[in-house]
Amino acid sequence: MKISIHLTFVAVGLLVSPLLAEEPKLAIPGSILYENKLAEAPGPEWKAAKGKWESADGSLRGSELPEDKHGAVIRLNRKFTDFVIEAEFCFSGAKSTTLSINAEKDHMARIAITPNLVTVRRDDNDHAGPDKAITFAVFPAKFEPGTWHKIRLELVGDVLLGQVDDLVAWGSDPLFATPKVAPGFTAAGQSIQWRNFTVRAATLNPNWEAVKATLPKPGEKVVRQVPAAGAGKKK
């Protein structure tokens, strides 16, 4: 009996995603709400608003089209509450990319990435009105072309946590507690690759306050104010 129990735990452990193997931060990941390796062309649940999105080398490759005069955009037509999104990205010439989530009527939040910077922010939610984007962190980084990197976006209640490799930032805003729709990617220039996209249900980590104390406070790590990728005209 002891041997069979041990083997069961080993088998379960092998099924755990490498992205989820680290200690929980804001969220405790639960059941899978959506999963797509992005190894093939996106299905009908994905809407490519701008640019060219195609299957390439077992991933989804996005490229801006000059005639669009707008960055490439693709979004998943789904609605979520509290969640953890995980994926991997690889620069192959693009100037920038984002993983973002929308509110029901406008933008909500994004992790914006260039080959040299990672920005975690709450987005401007009304554009023409008084609302303004809030930058939680801007980290220096170095993403070499052809190398794959992990990204994670957690939203639980009114708190967001963004992570790219070992760079972690968080922030809080009432907007985050509203319904969340259409997660997706953008690409400025040519090109960016994405793969292993997963959305899991999430609950608050009971140790979040202790974890939070080890992380930079919102606005504490801002190397310089820069427009997030896809700023200006966005979808």
How much is the average pLDDT of 213-221?
A: 97
Average pLDDT of the segment spanning 152-168: 98
Chain segment 77-107, per-residue pLDDT in tens: 999 999 999 999 999 999 999 999 999 999 9
Q: How far apart are CA 34 and CA 13, in angstroms?
A: 21
Residues 223, 214: Cα–Cα separation, whole Å: 19
| Domains recognised in the chain with CATH numbers | 31-222 (2.60.120.560)
d(CA 102, CA 154): 14
Q: Annotate 131-163 with DSSP letters as a single string.
A: ---EEEEEEE----TT-EEEEEEEEETTEEEEE
Q: Identify whether the C-beta of residue 89 lies closer than 8 Å to the C-beta of residue 205.
A: no
pTM to 2 decimal places: 0.86
pLDDT tens digit sequence for 189-198? 999 999 999 9
Residue 233 has a pLDDT of 44
